[in-house]
Structure 1
Amino acid sequence: MTTAPLSGRKAQAARNDELILSAARAVFTADPGAPIAAVAERAGVGISALYRRYPSKEALLQKLCGDGLKLYIAVTEKAMDDQGDPWEAFAGYMRGIVDADTNSLTIRLAGTFQPTEELYRDAARSSDLAVQAHARAVEAGVLRPDVTVADIALLFEQLASIKLGDEERTTQLRHRYLALVLDALRVPQGHRPLPGPPPEDRELQARWTP
């Protein structure tokens, strides 16, 4: 089944929406306190065109994080469908999330807006999938058992914080350090216990309360 092409007006609206969301991500991950007018300026669209699509900054932030959650879910579901080597499936999940860069939104936007019910549902789904991916790797004996789901979440955030040079250089460096992280996560012949307790879910979730 083929999808009918969008009419000229609808196609332009779709392009504007893509420009707005790309600009919003760049603007708000750089400065969560930036005004919505900065998004319109970066996107090259009129402020009225932006407000027709997103009536407030809050709505725009909700859309950004909603899209991020859906991308996280899609990447993790794909990894969970991989029935091959358990370690490669887990490593593929890690690489996919780093490439998706959804954690940049968490780092900068947590607590800056009120999540919707849909966001809470998608967050619960993404959390459940993260638990499943972690449990499968531990049960297969490929992921060190003293690493928790919350540990993995904060490792993603640490990798997302790496920004140097242009987008291509940033991607190269994130994958360089991800390779080191993966070596540390894989069950070795013998390893030292990790110092200190792991982060708790309540500590991570509390950041989303404005």
Structure 2
Amino acid sequence: MAKTTDSPARPALSGRKAQAARNDGIILAAAREVFLADAGAPIAAVADRAGVGISALYRRYPSKEALLRTLCEDGLRRYNAEGDAALEESDGWKALVGFLERVVDADVHSLAVHLAGTFTPDESLLPEVVHSGEVNDELVRRAHATGRLRPEVNSLDLGLILDACAAITVPDPARTAQLRRRTLAILVAGLAADDVELPGPAPVAGEFAWRWERRAET
């Protein structure tokens, strides 16, 4: 195991900066709730949910587009953090399954499903997008090395699994979480290597990029 060293303590933020950081966290949390429920909601709904004035929100995010982009980037960071943590697990199969469970529990992938096509991605998202692809590839590679993952499964299949889980929703959040975990368990069982061949070819790179094309507003 690699040696770890204590990180130097970060300097405390000034009162004004600390308040700004707290406000930003409140705004992003509110935006996540609002846009998960309705990606077409106005930015004023976020201000109402966050309990901040619309002018204060616009000072931080000059447009709904900027807020959506930041929200998506935050979701990617959370996804990648779970992936990086999973790569610390020595067992490749457990790493992959644990990663999927944590992403589903955190409801991270729902952001991608709901926000796709609602804004125009730019190059600021590229580092996180690239890293997520690298994490997925490595998790699948290690799972294959254990012999427990179907040989025909590739890293893009993870998106299909997470899409399926994110699509499940009922009015009760706790029940939604239960049903998503149940669905994931069924899908994970299907990932295990056996003699039954999967129908159709695996997803290919770029096959789902179309959903990030900006949709015309009606």
| TM-score calculated relative to the size of structure 2 | 0.87
Aligned to 1:105: 111
Residue 197 of structure 1 deviates from its aligned partner by 2.3
Aligned to 1:127: 133
Ranges in structure 2 where 5+ consecutive residues have no aligned partner: 1-7
Please tell me whether residue 79 in structure 1 is matched to residue 86 in structure 2.
yes
Residue 3 of structure 1 deviates from its aligned partner by 4.0
CA root-mean-square deviation: 1.7
Aligned 1:178-189 pairs, distance under 5 A: 178-187=184-193
When structure 1 is superposed on structure 2, of 2-11 and 122-131 the one drifting more is: 2-11
Do the aligned residues in 2 keep the contact of 1:19 with 1:43 (CA within 8 Å)? yes
Aligned to 2:74: 67
SS of the residue aligned with 1:202? coil
Aligned to 1:29: 36
Runs of 4+ with >6 A deviation: none
Distance, in Å, in 2 between the alignment partners of 1:103 and 1:139 is 26
Distance, in Å, in 2 between the alignment partners of 1:22 and 1:167 is 16
Q: Deviations over 1:69-114 (max 9, x none)?
A: 111111111111211x332122111112212322111111112212
Aligned to 2:210: 206
Aligned to 1:51: 58
> One-letter code of the match for 1:66?
E
Please tell me whether residue 95 in structure 1 is matched to residue 120 in structure 2.
no
When structure 1 is superposed on structure 2, of 166-175 and 97-106 the one drifting more is: 166-175
SS of the residue aligned with 2:208? helix
Distance, in Å, in 1 between the alignment partners of 2:131 and 2:209 is 14
SS of the residue aligned with 2:169? coil
Do the aligned residues in 2 keep the contact of 1:40 with 1:47 (CA within 8 Å)? yes
Distance, in Å, in 1 between the alignment partners of 2:26 and 2:85 is 27
Do the aligned residues in 2 keep the contact of 1:86 with 1:142 (CA within 8 Å)? no
Of 46, 49, 64 in structure 2, the residue corresponding to residue 39 of structure 1 is 46
Aligned length: 207
Q: Deviations over 1:101-146 (max 9, x none)?
A: 2211111111221212120221011112101111111122111112
Of 165, 176, 180 in structure 2, the residue corresponding to residue 174 of structure 1 is 180
Please tell me whether residue 18 in structure 1 is matched to residue 25 in structure 2.
yes
Do the aligned residues in 1 keep the contact of 2:47 with 2:53 (CA within 8 Å)? yes
Distance, in Å, in 2 between the alignment partners of 1:70 and 1:163 is 24
Do the aligned residues in 1 keep the contact of 2:92 with 2:139 (CA within 8 Å)? no
Residue 171 of structure 1 deviates from its aligned partner by 1.9
Distance, in Å, in 1 between the alignment partners of 2:167 and 2:187 is 14
SS of the residue aligned with 2:197? coil
SS of the residue aligned with 1:144? coil
Residue 165 to residue 34, structure 1, CA distance change in 2 (3 Å): closer
Ranges in structure 1 where 5+ consecutive residues have no aligned partner: none
